[in-house]
Amino acid sequence: MSQVFFFLHMIGTLALGFYLVLPFILGRTAKLSAPAKEGTLSAIGGFNRFAQYGLVIQLLTGGYMMTKGEYSVPWMIIVVVLLLAMFALGGIISKPLRLASEGMRENRDVSSYTGKIRTLSSLLMVTLVLMVFFMVYNQII
C-alpha cells in the first residue's frame, strides 16, 4: 500500500513542476501581444488550479507517509510549513491572475497585477525548491 501512496506522491510532485517554470513563462509574456497575454494568463490560471490539486495530493499522501516513517519533528514542521506556504501563495496568485486577465479584456493597465504575479511566482518557485531540498536531504535535521 505504501508503494501506491509513494506513486501518487510522485504524481503530485509532477503537478507542482509547473511552479518551477512559471517565473520563466511570465518573463516571456512581456513580448506578447495583448490577446496572447490574456490567453497566457488564462492558461496560467488553469495550470495553477491543476497545481493546487497536486498540492492536495501531496498533503494527503505525504501525511500518510509521514505517519509510517521515522522522521524528526523539526523536519516534519519545516515540510508542513513549506506546504502551507505553497498552498497560500498558490491561492493568493489566483486573484491577480484573474484580475489581470479581466483587465486585458477591458484594455486596462495590468502592470501592477503582473508585477504581483511575477513576485508570487518567484516565491512559489523558491518554496518548491526548498521543499525538494528537504525531501531529498531529510536526514539533515
Q: What letter represents residue 15's amino acid? A: A
Instruction: Name every residue whose Cβ is closer than 8 Å to that of residue 37 and which is 6 or more positions away in sequence.
Output: 29, 104
Nearest to 58 by CA among 3, 113, 13, 21: 13
The Cα–Cα gap between 86 and 77 comes to 14
Q: Which three cell numbers stand for residue 116?
A: 504581483
Instruction: Give me the pLDDT at residue 57, please.
Output: 95
Low-confidence ranges of the chain (pLDDT < 50): none
Per-residue pLDDT tens digits for 93-129 = 999 999 998 888 888 888 899 999 999 999 999 999 9
DSSP line for 60-90: HHHHHHHHHS---HHHHHHHHHHHHHHHHHH
